Structure 1
Amino acid sequence: MGFEGSANKVAVGVVSHTGDILSNPRKTYITPPGTGFLPRETAEHHRQVILDIVQQALDEAGIAPSDLDCLCYTKGPGMGAPLVSVAVVVRMLSQIWKKPIVPVNHCVGHIEMGRVVCGAMDPVVLYVSGGNTQVIAYNERRYRIFGETIDIAVGNCLDRFAREIGLSNDPSPGYNIEQLAKKGTKYIDMPYTVKGMDISLSGIETFAKSEARTKIDAGECTAADLCYSLQETIFAMLVEITERTMAHCNANDVLIVGGVGCNVRLQEMMRVMVGERGGKLYATDDRYCIDNGAMIAYAGILAFMEGQTATMAETICTQRYRTDDVLVTWRKDK
């Protein structure tokens, strides 16, 4: 059983050793338009609903706690208070059910979920979410980061712009930007900042917000035009650094994971590039791209079968837990 609560989604999933998803319920803490979610309030939301989600996960899977091998939780990265609120529940259930605990890196959870759902063997991974933007490839028992954002994540950038133009947070700001962008007809030049293998997004965020404040009311563009232009520019940057990583690693396939990974336009742009290189794009929908408990459960069971468990004193949370900090002992290739 996997427990996820690193941001505004709290989820519990049950998976088998082979990656079959038996249940995967989750709930999202949604705030009013124009606002974000704060750690304290988000943690309180998670505390209020998580036990109901645990019961729902057991019921949907058709199992009892005695059927579980281990409890897996998100150690990090993420927001401190929400992470801890979920970890406390896992410690409690571990003592009640007498089950071992496995800490899981959130980013590795996304990668392993994407690999098992899509059947991708050894792709270059583009991990794009609210808090993370990384291009990753596996080598010598670690997921190596070849490129990343040097300031804010792509999801954070989109969320901030959505707040600026007053878009709803239901179901998510990024989804609503994606839908509004489909109505855009005018492309507006925006800062394109690629620095070697890395990208910077704070400048384009500031520019887009400034354009919204000065150009929309003046009739020079629409909110849809800005959403369209913002997406096209950022996604082009992501495609560029992903292709550069593919060339470096001599790889043809790409797997997109993370909440922003279910953006259909991003998938379209990446599919064109990958197709030109003779490769295949692997991507999923919001069931598996968006934070969920099954991804933590699956990554956790892989580690558990390698003997990786934690004592109660070791069940800490780490807000800055790097993807390449994890020793990936369960992969035997390379």
Structure 2
Amino acid sequence: MRWNQLLIAALAVPSNALVRFHCSQLVTQRLDPLVNPGQTPSSHVHQIVGGDSFNATMDPAKDVPGEATCTSCHSFSNYWTAVLYFRHQNGSYKRVPQLGNNQFRTANGGLTIYYMQDAIYQPNQTSKVTAFQPGFRMFIGDVAARTLEQAGKFRQLTYTCLDTFVTRSPELIAFPERKCAEGIMTSLRFPTCWDGKNLDSPDHASHMSYPETGTFESSGPCPATHPVRTAQVMYEVVWDTKPFHDLWPADGRNPFVWSFGDATGYANHADYVFGWKGDALQKILDVPCHFATNCSEYGVKMQSIDKMNACTQKAVVKEDIDGWLQELPGGFQASYGPTSA
């Protein structure tokens, strides 16, 4: 019998879950089935986690979990972001490695994923939310953003300079402009109001919305156009910038750049393709499982880090993405925005 991702007991309980789990890296390559479907290679390098059914098209008519044989996560969903590079003063680029987050330090890089009903700091997740459905997908961010005004269209795509490995504030909209002792963490929070009809949209974003007033954390109401309140999906990614501290540029300018050339940090973005089996996500959202502290008593079986690390996928795009490169894969160069020299 093939391994099943999260086995949830169907229990009727009054409180809700704050789901948090780690996903090891499945593959790193230039594929993007949302923005560049069917294009091999896609425009820029991504790091992908989740089920090994990930491919260049991710046909929404296909059964995502049914086609997967393993996952580097705890469901067969796929989650991905762009990749961070260090730009040397001589103009060459080197990929920044990743670290497993907090208690997941032995994981092979990847992301930490949250599904939240209420603010992350609220231990009692009491709000009722609706799980996504098979075929659902979404995107957040703007790869062309190079100014604060452009980045301001998207709430809570942030950076934290990790002075310690558990530092979580302050959160910045642009790249930190100093050395960060334990690396840089990016946090990517998706909108939480769904139109209740469309599993996707042409821009992969307009079927979702932010609350009409306030925020998700303040329990702001959803707009009438997007009345269905969903869990907030959040990614945390820890980038190990320590190996580059001795190479920091003399002028003090931030030396990090996204794989598509953004050196401001304003173009932070992320993609999501739903791949939970049946109603497993709704069931886990309906039990009082907070992180991994009391999940087992509700029938939630979490995959070990060793099993997550064992699920990998060979890159179909054959190119060097890890050595010292004269240009970013796809031909990009660092762009510092309209005010750059």
Q: TM-score range by the shorter chain?
A: under 0.3
Structure showing the higher helix proportion among its residues:
1
Structure showing the higher strand proportion among its residues:
2
